[in-house]
Amino acid sequence: QVQLVESGGGLVQPGGSLRLSCTASGSFFSIDGMGWYRQAPGKQRELVAYITPGGTTRYVDSVKGRFTISRDNGKKMLYLQMNSLKPEDTAVYYCNTDDLHSWGQGTQVTVSS
């Protein structure tokens, strides 16, 4: 059974940075594509960043150039470096695999002056 645990969120001012981490225990991590998702109040959950098993990345337009997704296959960990944060980035952030296992609790990111 895959367990997903996110951490690293918090309160940050506009223009600031955060680094989110995700552990994916119980998965065949090295052969799974991984993604970061976010859900703001009253909005649908959206995929914001994706990384293939080989390290190729893709981003939704709204975060392109500001966020960087990376992975450590040996540690079965996924990261999201978030720079130049904007208030509209405020959301609960989740990680998951291509097969969308049960969601973890996520980590809250709040961008506010």
Take residue 55 and report the two structure tokens written for it: 């390290």
Q: What pLDDT band is residue 99 in, cutting at 50, 70 and 90? A: confident
- Give me the half-sphere count of Cα atoms (radius 13 Å) on the Cβ side of residue 48: 27
Output the pLDDT for position 31: 85
Angle at 48 between CA 47 and CA 54, to 5 degrees: 90
Output the pLDDT for position 29: 79
Which tens digit of pLDDT belongs to each residue from 27-63?
A: 777 888 999 999 999 999 999 999 999 899 999 999 9
By C-alpha distance, which of 36, 29, 18, 15 is closest to 104?
36
Output the pLDDT for position 101: 86
3-state helix, strand, coil in the chain (%, to 5): 5, 50, 45
26: pLDDT strictly greater than 90: no
Output the pLDDT for position 61: 98
| Share of residues in the chain with pLDDT > 70 (%) | 100
